[in-house]
Structure 1
Amino acid sequence: MWRDPGQPADSYYQVRPECTDVPKSKFKIKAGRTLSSRKWQAAFTPEGYLDISKTLSRIYRGGIHPSIRGEVWEFLLGCYDPKSTFDERDQIRQRRRVQYVRWKEECRQIFPVVGSGKFITAPVITEDGQPIQEPLVILETNQDRGPSQDGNSAEIGSSHAYATNQSRTNASCSEMVKELTSHGPLDHKVIQWMLTLHQIGLDVHRTDRTLVFYEKQENLSKLWDILAVYAWIDTDVGYCQGMSDLCSPMIMLLEDEADAFWCFERLMRRLRGNFRCTGRTVGVETQLSNLAEITQVIDPKLHQHLDALGGGDYLFAFRMLMVLFRREFSFCDSLYLWEMMWALEYDPDLFSVYEELELNGEKHEGSKGRVKSIRHYGKFERENMKNGAANSEGPLPMSVFLVASVLKDKSSKLLHEARGLDDVVRILNDMTGNLDAKKACSGAMKLHRKYLKKAKKA
């Protein structure tokens, strides 16, 4: 029987020609397996109701075609209810776009660089709310900035013009802050928000810099704007390093900035607990503790070895959980991994839970409601329901089992070659770009079932 060998998906995410060491994607677009535009459109009724169970099955079989990835993600992340009509979704979309514009305008009124098509990388305010005016502080983070405003970094004249414009931007930023502080002491929320803006700019400039898409200043500034607005509305978490890695794909997949923002906001509903700091702890430490527990159950010998090396806290897996394997997979493969994971974790009640919290002005993560038809859930969620894994804190996320699966796969190498934590880090770093997303998800599902059975017996 003839099988489609598949079309490489890398061409949809063009890499800058000078970046020759970027790992190639293992994900291939395969006819009959990958969710195509035609299959996606056919999954809707004339009114707009989506057959979510068939869609989830198709995604797990072969991922999503890059041309429709953004709109499918909106459903996977709970932006829309599959049982809504086209008209209902249009109304929600317009309402959210208006809300985003309102929030962005609030930010612009405080700091006019927001929405200007530019962004900053130098601090413009001190912790006590005073403007920073020293030229060195303004200029030092703008040296060797990279792509010019028109995206052509090869032209010296253009690069010089870009650096000059950015310097003027930061100089004018200082004037804006002086004007702002001239009316009296700044509000604590405003100070905390403004302190994050240059860090967002630094991270934006480093994010996915191998991609042609981010040679354009407008795309960099769009990413900065979204992260700045999110930091303004989520005062509990604000902005933390790693968020730019999670938001970047949304900018590329969804043309409208507001739609990209809401897709990112829904993803943060799942992950914001990882970024929340309380005292001396970071939220992701809970998942690291869960990872240690899972590894101890499914591979006690490996856990004992890691513990003996001083890695019993599993901090070496910190980055994998924080940015969902963005560093361990190629760009294209990380998107493939995400959508398979979200399809497996899919809970049809997420939209109503998020919508209710949004209307009440609340933020929450891990809240799970229940509907009657189990076939509308992803396979991972079905296992949780069957085994009664849900508790007051919610079931463990699939990302923890993905990391456990990777460790299990590298167990022999870790046991025989790791003589210290540096070796553990080296072995795990060596797999960058060489992991198979489909295999990782399959392995995570097997470990999940095994863990649930052992936990149930215990």
Structure 2
Amino acid sequence: MKKELIFGSTELVYEQDEVYTLPASQEELSVSGKLRILEKRHGVVVEWRCSDDECSAESEWAVINTAAVTFTHHNISDSVEISTPRRYVRPICIELIDLRSYRIGDNTSLVLIQRDGTTHPALAFHSGSVHCFVDVLLRYVDVKKSEKDSNLYLIVDKKQNSTDEKLSALNLVPDRRGPGGWGGGGGPSGIPWGNAQQRVWGFFNNWKRDPYTTTVSTLSKFYDAVLYNGVDGYVRESDGEDDVAEIFHSLNGFEVLEPGYELLTKKGKLAERPDVDRLSPLTHDEFQQYIDDDGRILDVEPLQQRIFRGGIHPNLRRELWCYLLGHNQWNSTYMQREENKREKENLYFTMKQQWKTITLDQESRFSAFKERRSLIEKDVNRTDRNHPFFEGEHNPNVVLLHDILMTYVMYNFDLGYVQGMSDLLAPILYVTQNEPTAFWCFVGYMDMVYRNFDMDQSGMKQQLLDVHHLVQVVDPELMSYLEARESANFYFCFRWLLVRFKRELNYASTLRLWEVLWTGQPCPNFHLLVVVALLDTEKNTIMENKFGFTEILKHINDISCRIDLELTLKKAEAIYLQISKSNNVPDRVRALLGLPIQESAPSDPSQKDDDEPLRPQDSDGEDVSLTGGLVGVVSSMIGSAVRHLSGDDLTSVSLEAVPGGEDDEEKRFETALSHQFV
């Protein structure tokens, strides 16, 4: 493509019209724009701009193009579903040096990912081709296809790539082909070998930075392969001549130094993950099959399972949410529900009158009440104000949101109000559209999640620890990666758990997810499996781009409202079935998911605490650690020699990873809160 001088010293080298943003939700419309590659004085820039905003000076900072916003409100047979098409415009401008990777979807859409974790909206080419864009991009950078994700392409430096090719030509890693080999570039378990030279090169780089740790960690891999070659139940199983290739393959990830020391651990292989299907939402006619002539619901669990499998149709949601949230009893009759409604309405308005009659003089001596009122007033004025049910000045629904939260303060003054509660109430009020009903349903929801709002965050930290245990079992590879990047605390999942993914999904998906979670099916703490499923979906993007804690946090925020809920629910259920069918799952994980604890003979030496590594033994049954025995002596000798040559003090080194201090942990926790919620 011929270069064109468009202004100043900027040259246009690529331009494509009719490149549309793909809508991430029903509330968002597709927006047409121009995709360009520009050569500027300071470097090459990739940018996308909305076609309507080409001449607008303010478009650089626009989040929503208000001139293009349209509304079409409608109700469908007593449904409270409201369609609100909007045009969200977020201009894209990336210096090529900041571009880390890009993803080409099955529909040839393009997603640009920056080094800091920023993930931009998907772009679709209505004319032209994404491959033309890639061809121009290749003039400035080299691109390497991801080993694990066929749709992900990594941007690599041309000079570094040339060095890698020379290293690859040395054939340091054997290429096994033919019978018994891994022909076609595939490694064990179907893992390709395309980046073998990067593993070796990364090893050399890390040996220069920390010779001792790199040498000992690598030696431990050889130790594993040599002593446990062919022994069932241990992590690595190799066939003689393939040991070296297998060991070098295990060096993947050495681009960032492993901050610790590897001990042999018992392999925990899970059962195969099954495929699951979901159903369409429960309809009114289908629901009638579950109730008798007096209005009782007799078969509760089958109904809960049906709701879990497909959710609830919008015109039935208002009625069934009252059951799921405890406002109505499952076995109550029509008359009992009417009586219960009147009693709870009276109780609600009594409590509401209590706080409304507090005078300013009383409030001046009631500091806790005053602080909570002030916080509620601030939060309701920024809760879902872009949703048509709450938008606009002097909206009566915003007043109801305020009044219900104030009444909850009187109902539960010990807990009072904590930021995030308004996010949980807003969808309930939207569905029920009745003040007392919304209040009592909110009470039921808070009874489920009140630990999320502990003042010391103990409830949230426990859930993050539970996620840690689940990922440790389901995906040890991801866990090892996160530990190496000081991200195994899962603080980047804080907002997901606090408000049950409400800020990650569009409104329709939020309502569907919540009613699925409220069924309690198929296990307790299913929301934690939703977290694991989402991490599984984003795993390749995080690992292939080598994101650290800050980048992961940024990436997690950027996938907000771009989550495929049905795919995530399928994956979460499949993970549950996978764990439930596996025999070697730790008891704490089984208890977390309500699975029966497996009995084991106390004399079995392999049944040890999950946190205690399984140490290899010699022929006499004595422990052989990497700091003792022949291999330990060799390890110590090599380590001492290397550290002596590098000038480091041997006595200052510990074989165990040194964890970050409490101050560092608190800083990361506060960073997560500030980026994700506050």
TM-score category (smaller protein): 0.5 to 0.7
Q: C-alpha displacement at 1:57, in angstroms? A: 3.8
Counterpart CA distance in 2 for 1:193 and 1:407 is 40
Counterpart CA distance in 2 for 1:379 and 1:94 is 34
The one of 86, 91, 97 aligned to 2:334: 86
Bigger helix fraction:
1
Q: Equivalences for 1:383-394 in 2 at 5 Å?
A: none
TM-aligned CA distance change 1:35 to 1:59, over 3 Å: same
The one of 14, 21, 34 aligned to 2:82: 14
Q: Which amino acid aligns with 1:252?
A: Y
- Of all paired residues, the percent bearing the same amino acid is 28
Counterpart CA distance in 2 for 1:61 and 1:180 is 51
Computing the radius of gyration from Cα coordinates, the structure with the larger value is 2
Question: For residues 246-293 of structure 1, what are the alpha-carbon distances to aligned partners after superposition, in whole Å with 9 as ceiling and x for unaligned?
Answer: 100111111320110000110000100110123xx4421110111111
Per the alignment, residue 350 of structure 1 pairs with none
SS in 1 for 2:438: helix
Q: C-alpha displacement at 1:52, in angstroms? A: 2.7
Counterpart CA distance in 2 for 1:56 and 1:270 is 17
2:370 is the counterpart of 1:194 = yes
Q: C-alpha displacement at 1:54, in angstroms? A: 4.2
Q: Equivalences for 1:417-456 in 2 at 5 Å?
A: 417-452=545-580, 453=582, 454-456=585-587
Per the alignment, residue 406 of structure 2 pairs with 228
Counterpart CA distance in 1 for 2:547 and 2:85 is 39
Q: C-alpha displacement at 1:44, in angstroms? A: 1.8
Counterpart CA distance in 2 for 1:292 and 1:230 is 33
Q: Which amino acid aligns with 1:88?
A: Q
Greater mean alpha carbon deviation, residues 93-102 or residues 190-199: 190-199
Q: Which amino acid aligns with 1:220?
A: V
Question: For residues 43-68 of structure 1, what are the alpha-carbon distances to aligned partners after superposition, in whole Å with 9 as ceiling and x for unaligned?
Answer: 32111111434433432343212122
Q: C-alpha displacement at 1:9, in angstroms? A: 7.9
Q: Which runs of 5+ in 1 are unaligned?
A: 1-7, 24-31, 111-175, 346-377, 381-394
Per the alignment, residue 337 of structure 1 pairs with 513
Q: Equivalences for 1:33-112 in 2 at 5 Å?
A: 33-50=280-297, 51-110=299-358
Q: Equivalences for 1:147-296 in 2 at 5 Å?
A: 176-177=359-360, 179-180=361-362, 186=365, 190-215=366-391, 217-278=395-456, 281-296=457-472
Q: C-alpha displacement at 1:439, in angstroms? A: 2.1
Compute the TM-score of the two structures, normalised by the length of structure 1.
0.65
Greater mean alpha carbon deviation, residues 46-55 or residues 87-96: 46-55
Q: C-alpha displacement at 1:203, in angstroms? A: 1.2
The one of 352, 356, 379 aligned to 2:522: 379
Counterpart CA distance in 2 for 1:18 and 1:441 is 27
Q: C-alpha displacement at 1:104, in angstroms? A: 0.4
Q: C-alpha displacement at 1:39, in angstroms? A: 2.5
TM-aligned CA distance change 1:434 to 1:419, over 3 Å: closer
SS in 2 for 1:72: helix
Counterpart CA distance in 1 for 2:509 and 2:458 is 27
Per the alignment, residue 406 of structure 1 pairs with 534
2:558 is the counterpart of 1:415 = no
Counterpart CA distance in 2 for 1:409 and 1:313 is 19
TM-aligned CA distance change 1:240 to 1:418, over 3 Å: farther
Bigger strand fraction:
2
Per the alignment, residue 639 of structure 2 pairs with none
Counterpart CA distance in 1 for 2:309 and 2:420 is 29
SS in 2 for 1:106: helix
Counterpart CA distance in 2 for 1:21 and 1:44 is 48
Counterpart contact for 1:15–1:210, Cα < 8 Å? no
Question: For residues 278-314 of structure 1, what are the alpha-carbon distances to aligned partners after superposition, in whole Å with 9 as ceiling and x for unaligned?
Answer: 3xx4421110111111111111121121122121211
Aligned Cα root-mean-square deviation (Å): 2.5
Aligned residues: 321
SS in 2 for 1:45: coil
TM-aligned CA distance change 1:19 to 1:104, over 3 Å: farther
Per the alignment, residue 362 of structure 1 pairs with none
SS in 1 for 2:390: helix
TM-aligned CA distance change 1:21 to 1:229, over 3 Å: farther
Counterpart CA distance in 2 for 1:18 and 1:198 is 32
Counterpart contact for 1:14–1:211, Cα < 8 Å? no
Q: C-alpha displacement at 1:109, in angstroms? A: 1.0
Higher RCO (CA 8 Å, separation ≥ 6 residues): 1
Counterpart contact for 1:406–1:440, Cα < 8 Å? yes
TM-aligned CA distance change 1:234 to 1:227, over 3 Å: same
Question: For residues 393-435 of structure 1, what are the alpha-carbon distances to aligned partners after superposition, in whole Å with 9 as ceiling and x for unaligned?
Answer: xx5x111111111112222222211331122123323322222
Q: C-alpha displacement at 1:18, in angstroms? A: 5.7
Counterpart contact for 1:414–1:424, Cα < 8 Å? yes
TM-aligned CA distance change 1:17 to 1:266, over 3 Å: same
Counterpart contact for 1:292–1:312, Cα < 8 Å? yes
Q: Which amino acid aligns with 1:180?
A: Q
Per the alignment, residue 318 of structure 1 pairs with 494
Q: Which amino acid aligns with 1:91?
A: E
Question: For residues 102-143 of structure 1, what are the alpha-carbon distances to aligned partners after superposition, in whole Å with 9 as ceiling and x for unaligned?
Answer: 110111111xxxxxxxxxxxxxxxxxxxxxxxxxxxxxxxxx
Compute the TM-score of the two structures, normalised by the length of structure 2.
0.45
Q: Which runs of 5+ in 2 are unaligned?
A: 1-24, 28-73, 75-79, 91-120, 122-278, 588-597, 599-606, 608-678
